[in-house]
Amino acid sequence: MNSSIAELHKLYAAGDAKPSGVCREALDRIEKDNERLNAYITINRESALKMAAGMDADIQAAIKQRPLAGVPVAIKDNMCLAGVRTTCASRVLGDYAPPYTATAVKKLEEAGAIIIGKTNLDEFAMGSSTENSAFGPARNPVNAELTPGGSSGGSAVTVAAGHIPVALGSDTGGSIRQPASFCGVVGLKPTYGRVSRYGLVAFASSLDQIGPLTTNVADAARALQVISGRDRHDSTSSNAPVPDYLGALSGDIKGLRVGVPPECFGEGLDPEVKEKVEAGIRKLADRGAEIVEVHLPHTKYAIAVYYVIATAEASSNLARYDGVRYGFRAEESRTLSEMYRKTRDEGFGAEVKRRIMLGTFVLSSGYYDAYYEKAQRVRSMLAGDFAEAFKRCDVIVTPTAPTPAFKIGEKSNDPLAMYLGDIYTVTINLTGVPAISVPCGSSKAGLPIGLQLIGNHFDEARLLNAAYAFEQS
Ligand code: GLN
């Protein structure tokens, strides 16, 4: 597979490839690698090949009209595709197949993309390693003993392995950016409201957002262009005009003010990650950016705030899995409440149960003010931090994650250690701003490191251009 959409379209334009050939090759490699990497939960071989064959004859014309014509794409298995099972990597959904397609996915299809499969994830997107999957862990293509990060691990793996140029992920607290950083690809979390959440199975509705994982920044811009925009099925989707993201990639960042928050370069940060990200900041300066110090003083509360708000929202969102309407139902219950209890006990994995219990607790009468309400107040303070910082700069740079990829099993018995790894990503979801992780070199052991660029609300065009300039350097 060629690594970018532009290269693939060049082959189509020259008549050197056809969608059916490209898809067959991608599917063969995906199926072969799946034994080792476990990136996919469902592979749509038949339907993808059928759709590709239907495009073969007209592909040269189609690439001029449709931005993703003949491009094989995968989606995280928490997004609905009509008639195809959607598992969220959970037993509780059983073989549930939705009767409709998520808006972002539908937009991909309308742009000519071929959906070749649904990728592995942490159950209900809860996790940072893709180990919390009822279908077994996904593995990092750089080294199969390592996790690919999570929760959009399968999407990062398939792009990093060179199977396909674009996969969609979802990001509630870092789930697109952190796996992108662990696998050495680009991952973009758009502004809250930029992309419709209709058909994305809800984890924490005030934080969830769909975005692309790609091998390069231009493809992230292309994909964002396609999936963005107002959707009447999602009242939180925004009317803000969708600019020409690809056209914004000039690579010129002269005078761009790049904010560096010292709070994100202190304790807990792996020295090799620090060194690479600081070197990355110097590269931005070399290209004419102006480096300014900014402060995000409430960052130290971010993990606590996130794990109160995200679990609270999750506990209500996951109440619907009761064995009545969706998927799995436990057998042999004598009463309705026993059926609920057994279904949820057998259907959910340990991490999801932990979150439901935490979330139920922080919302419970007598504790609501002390936890949930307080967390919401600190959330506003975090938003204040970013608003202040963006008065002084155009984009902010931080590491994406405090360490490179860790070993499978290393943190799976220590939820707190796992949660702490989300320190640089969760503030972005709590405040709704967009952020992108771009590869910025490797550790001495050869593990990819990601640099995170953060933009102001709906400023993806400038954010993507900064990332593009960085990539060029
Ligand atoms: N790692 C974070 C969590 O476990 C973020 C997950 C996500 O963004 N879906 O909640």
List of residues 6+ apart from 37 with CB closer than 8 A: 138, 139, 141, 144, 157, 161
Which ligand 1 atom sits nearest the alpha carbon of residue 207? 8
Residue 361, in any domain of the structure: no
Please pick, among 128, 170, 175, 437, the residue that the annotation labels catalytic: 175
Q: How far is the CA of 295 from the centre of ligand 1 (A)?
A: 24
From first to last of its 473 residues, the chain has per-residue pLDDT tens of 657 999 999 999 999 999 999 999 999 999 999 999 999 999 999 999 999 999 999 999 999 999 999 999 999 999 999 999 999 999 999 999 999 999 999 999 999 999 999 999 999 999 999 999 999 999 999 999 999 999 999 999 999 999 999 999 999 999 999 999 999 999 999 999 999 999 999 999 999 999 999 999 999 999 999 999 999 999 999 999 999 999 999 999 999 999 999 999 998 999 999 999 999 999 999 999 999 999 999 999 999 999 999 999 999 999 999 999 889 999 989 999 999 999 999 999 999 999 999 999 999 989 889 999 999 999 999 999 999 999 999 999 999 999 999 999 999 999 999 999 999 999 999 999 999 999 999 999 999 999 999 999 999 999 999 999 999 99
Q: CA quadruple 168, 173, 175, 179: dihedral positive or negative?
A: positive
Give the C-alpha separation, 4 to 221, whole Å. 12
Residue 46, in any domain of the structure: yes
The range of the structural domain enclosing residue 9 comes to 5-227
Q: How far is the CA of 127 from the centre of ligand 1 (A)?
A: 5
Residue 59, in any domain of the structure: yes
| Cα-based distances in Å from 374 to 306, 336, 425, 442 | 12, 36, 20, 39
The two three-digit tokens of residue 10, written as one number: 């060049």
Which ligand 1 atom sits nearest the alpha carbon of residue 128? 1
Is the CB of 126 within 6 Å of ligand 1?
Answer: yes
**Residue to mutate, 78, 88, 151, 358, ligand 1, most ligand atoms under 8 Å from C-beta:** 151
Residue 459, in any domain of the structure: no
The two three-digit tokens of residue 397, written as one number: 């740079």
The two three-digit tokens of residue 323, written as one number: 């064995």
Q: What is the CA radius of gyration of the chain?
A: 21
Q: How far is the CA of 182 from the centre of ligand 1 (A)?
A: 14
- Report residue 348 CA to chain centroid gap: 22
**Residue to mutate, 172, 206, 352, ligand 1, most ligand atoms under 8 Å from C-beta:** 172
Q: How far is the CA of 422 from the centre of ligand 1 (A)?
A: 8
Which ligand 1 atom sits nearest the alpha carbon of residue 152? 9
- Backbone torsions φ then ψ of 128, nearest 5 degrees: -135, 20
Please pick, among 90, 129, 133, 151, the residue that the annotation labels catalytic: 151
Q: What CATH number does the domain containing 142 carry?
A: 3.90.1300.10
Amino acid (1-letter code) at residue 444: K
Q: How far is the CA of 124 from the centre of ligand 1 (A)?
A: 9
Residue 58, in any domain of the structure: yes
| 170 among known catalytic residues | no
Written as one string, the DSSP assignment of 292-352 is EE---GGGGGHHHHHHHHHHHHHHHHGGG-SSSSSS---S--SSHHHHHHHHHHHHS-HHH
| 437 among known catalytic residues | no
The pLDDT value given to residue 2: 59
Is the CB of 132 within 6 Å of ligand 1?
Answer: no
Please pick, among 4, 18, 20, 76, the residue that the annotation labels catalytic: 76
Give the C-alpha separation, 68 to 5, whole Å. 7
Residue of minimum CA distance from atom 4 in ligand 1: 127
Residue 471, in any domain of the structure: no
Strand locations in 132-256 (E): 166-171, 186-189, 209-214
CA angle 9, 13, 15 (to 5 degrees): 115
CB 425, CB 155: distance < 8 Å: no
Residue of minimum CA distance from atom 5 in ligand 1: 173
The two three-digit tokens of residue 467, written as one number: 């990332």
Task: Find the helix or strand (DSSP H, E) in which 57 lies.
Answer: none
Q: How far is the CA of 257 from the centre of ligand 1 (A)?
A: 30
Residue 97, in any domain of the structure: yes
The pLDDT value given to residue 471: 98
Q: How far is the CA of 175 from the centre of ligand 1 (A)?
A: 5
CB-CB neighbours of 27 under 10 Å: 22
Is the CB of 20 within 6 Å of ligand 1?
Answer: no
Residue 433, in any domain of the structure: no
Amino acid (1-letter code) at residue 241: P
- Residues 144-155: b if buried by 16+ CB within 10 A, e if exposed: eebbbbbbbbbb
Is the CB of 127 within 6 Å of ligand 1?
Answer: yes
Q: Is 112 exposed, middle or buried (0-12, 13-18, 19+ CB in 10 A)?
A: buried
Is the CB of 425 within 6 Å of ligand 1?
Answer: no
Is the CB of 128 within 6 Å of ligand 1?
Answer: yes
Place of tokens 């940072």: 128
Q: How far is the CA of 394 from the centre of ligand 1 (A)?
A: 26
Q: CA quadruple 295, 296, 297, 300: dihedral positive or negative?
A: negative
Give the C-alpha separation, 268 to 391, whole Å. 28
Asked if the bond preceding 47 is cis, omega within 30° of 0, the reply is no
Would strands 257-260 and 186-189 be described as parallel, antiparallel, or unpaired?
unpaired
**Residue to mutate, 76, 121, 126, ligand 1, most ligand atoms under 8 Å from C-beta:** 126
Q: Report which DSSP code applies to 272.
A: H
Amino acid (1-letter code) at residue 224: L
Considering its fold, how many domains does the chain have in total?
Answer: 1
| 76 among known catalytic residues | yes
Is the CB of 105 within 6 Å of ligand 1?
Answer: no
The two three-digit tokens of residue 242, written as one number: 């969708």
The pLDDT value given to residue 46: 97
